[in-house]
Amino acid sequence: MSRLFLLDLLALLLFAGVGLLSHGQPVNAGGLARNVLPVLFVWLLLAPFLGTYRRPTWKNLLLTWALAFPAGLWLRQMVLGEGFGVGFFVFLAVAMGFSLLFLLLLRGLAKLLRLW
Protein backbone atom coordinates (compact mmCIF):
# COMPACT_ATOMS: atom_id res chain seq x y z
CA MET A 1 0.00 0.00 0.00
CA SER A 2 1.27 3.44 -0.91
CA ARG A 3 2.71 5.62 1.85
CA LEU A 4 0.96 8.58 0.26
CA PHE A 5 -2.38 6.79 0.42
CA LEU A 6 -1.78 6.09 4.11
CA LEU A 7 -0.96 9.77 4.67
CA ASP A 8 -4.10 10.83 2.81
CA LEU A 9 -6.16 8.37 4.84
CA LEU A 10 -4.62 9.76 8.03
CA ALA A 11 -5.49 13.29 6.87
CA LEU A 12 -9.13 12.25 6.29
CA LEU A 13 -9.29 10.53 9.68
CA LEU A 14 -7.80 13.56 11.44
CA PHE A 15 -10.26 15.81 9.63
CA ALA A 16 -13.18 13.60 10.70
CA GLY A 17 -11.90 13.35 14.27
CA VAL A 18 -11.54 17.11 14.62
CA GLY A 19 -15.00 17.52 13.11
CA LEU A 20 -16.53 15.11 15.63
CA LEU A 21 -14.80 16.87 18.52
CA SER A 22 -15.87 20.30 17.29
CA HIS A 23 -19.48 19.11 17.33
CA GLY A 24 -19.19 17.65 20.82
CA GLN A 25 -19.36 14.07 19.60
CA PRO A 26 -17.08 11.26 20.71
CA VAL A 27 -14.29 10.20 18.41
CA ASN A 28 -15.00 6.52 17.95
CA ALA A 29 -14.94 3.94 15.18
CA GLY A 30 -18.62 4.47 14.33
CA GLY A 31 -18.33 8.23 14.01
CA LEU A 32 -15.14 8.03 11.98
CA ALA A 33 -16.62 5.38 9.69
CA ARG A 34 -19.81 7.38 9.15
CA ASN A 35 -17.81 10.44 8.15
CA VAL A 36 -14.83 8.96 6.32
CA LEU A 37 -16.07 5.83 4.52
CA PRO A 38 -18.29 7.58 1.94
CA VAL A 39 -15.47 9.95 0.97
CA LEU A 40 -12.92 7.15 1.00
CA PHE A 41 -15.15 5.00 -1.21
CA VAL A 42 -15.35 7.69 -3.91
CA TRP A 43 -11.67 8.57 -3.43
CA LEU A 44 -10.62 4.97 -4.06
CA LEU A 45 -12.88 4.72 -7.10
CA LEU A 46 -11.37 7.82 -8.69
CA ALA A 47 -7.71 7.55 -7.65
CA PRO A 48 -6.69 4.90 -10.22
CA PHE A 49 -8.22 6.92 -13.07
CA LEU A 50 -6.68 10.19 -11.92
CA GLY A 51 -3.22 8.78 -11.20
CA THR A 52 -3.39 9.97 -7.61
CA TYR A 53 -0.81 7.42 -6.44
CA ARG A 54 0.59 6.13 -9.73
CA ARG A 55 1.75 9.64 -10.73
CA PRO A 56 1.59 11.59 -7.47
CA THR A 57 1.56 15.32 -8.11
CA TRP A 58 -0.08 18.25 -6.36
CA LYS A 59 -2.40 18.54 -9.36
CA ASN A 60 -3.53 14.91 -9.09
CA LEU A 61 -4.10 15.27 -5.36
CA LEU A 62 -6.17 18.44 -5.84
CA LEU A 63 -8.19 16.91 -8.66
CA THR A 64 -8.91 13.79 -6.60
CA TRP A 65 -9.91 15.93 -3.62
CA ALA A 66 -12.05 18.30 -5.73
CA LEU A 67 -14.04 15.41 -7.21
CA ALA A 68 -14.06 12.80 -4.44
CA PHE A 69 -14.75 14.99 -1.45
CA PRO A 70 -18.00 16.64 -2.57
CA ALA A 71 -19.22 13.38 -4.12
CA GLY A 72 -18.36 11.52 -0.92
CA LEU A 73 -20.16 14.08 1.23
CA TRP A 74 -23.18 13.86 -1.08
CA LEU A 75 -23.09 10.06 -0.69
CA ARG A 76 -22.80 10.44 3.11
CA GLN A 77 -25.81 12.72 3.12
CA MET A 78 -27.82 10.21 1.08
CA VAL A 79 -26.85 7.29 3.33
CA LEU A 80 -27.78 9.25 6.44
CA GLY A 81 -31.10 10.23 4.86
CA GLU A 82 -30.51 13.92 5.42
CA GLY A 83 -31.60 16.71 3.13
CA PHE A 84 -29.69 19.01 0.83
CA GLY A 85 -30.75 22.40 2.15
CA VAL A 86 -28.60 25.42 2.88
CA GLY A 87 -27.07 23.66 5.90
CA PHE A 88 -25.59 20.97 3.70
CA PHE A 89 -23.91 23.50 1.43
CA VAL A 90 -22.47 25.39 4.41
CA PHE A 91 -21.19 22.06 5.76
CA LEU A 92 -19.78 21.21 2.33
CA ALA A 93 -17.88 24.51 2.10
CA VAL A 94 -16.41 24.19 5.61
CA ALA A 95 -15.59 20.52 5.12
CA MET A 96 -13.91 21.18 1.78
CA GLY A 97 -11.70 23.88 3.28
CA PHE A 98 -10.63 21.95 6.35
CA SER A 99 -10.15 18.64 4.54
CA LEU A 100 -7.89 20.38 2.04
CA LEU A 101 -5.91 21.91 4.91
CA PHE A 102 -5.29 18.48 6.46
CA LEU A 103 -4.39 16.90 3.10
CA LEU A 104 -1.97 19.69 2.20
CA LEU A 105 -0.34 19.67 5.63
CA LEU A 106 0.33 15.95 5.55
CA ARG A 107 1.43 15.92 1.90
CA GLY A 108 3.69 18.89 2.66
CA LEU A 109 5.17 16.97 5.57
CA ALA A 110 5.73 14.02 3.23
CA LYS A 111 7.60 16.33 0.84
CA LEU A 112 9.76 17.67 3.66
CA LEU A 113 10.59 14.16 4.87
CA ARG A 114 11.27 13.06 1.28
CA LEU A 115 8.57 10.41 1.43
CA TRP A 116 7.16 11.75 -1.79
Helix axes 86-112, 3-22, angle to 10 degrees: 140
Per the structure, how many domains does the chain have?
1
CB 73 within 8 A of CB 95: yes
Segments forming the whole domain that contains residue 36:
3-112
Distance CA 32, CA 50 (A): 25
Examine the pLDDT at 105 and tell me if it is beyond 90: yes
User: What pLDDT, in 10s, does the model give residues 23-73?
Assistant: 898 889 988 998 899 999 999 999 999 999 999 999 999 999 999 999 999
φ, ψ for residue 113, nearest 5 deg: -85, 5
Write b or e for each residue in 83-102: b if 16 or more Cβ atoms lie within 10 A of its Cβ, otherwise e.
Answer: eeeeebeeebeebeeebbeb
Distance CA 44, CA 6 (A): 12
User: What pLDDT, in 10s, does the model give residues 66-101?
Assistant: 999 999 999 999 988 888 899 899 999 999 999 999
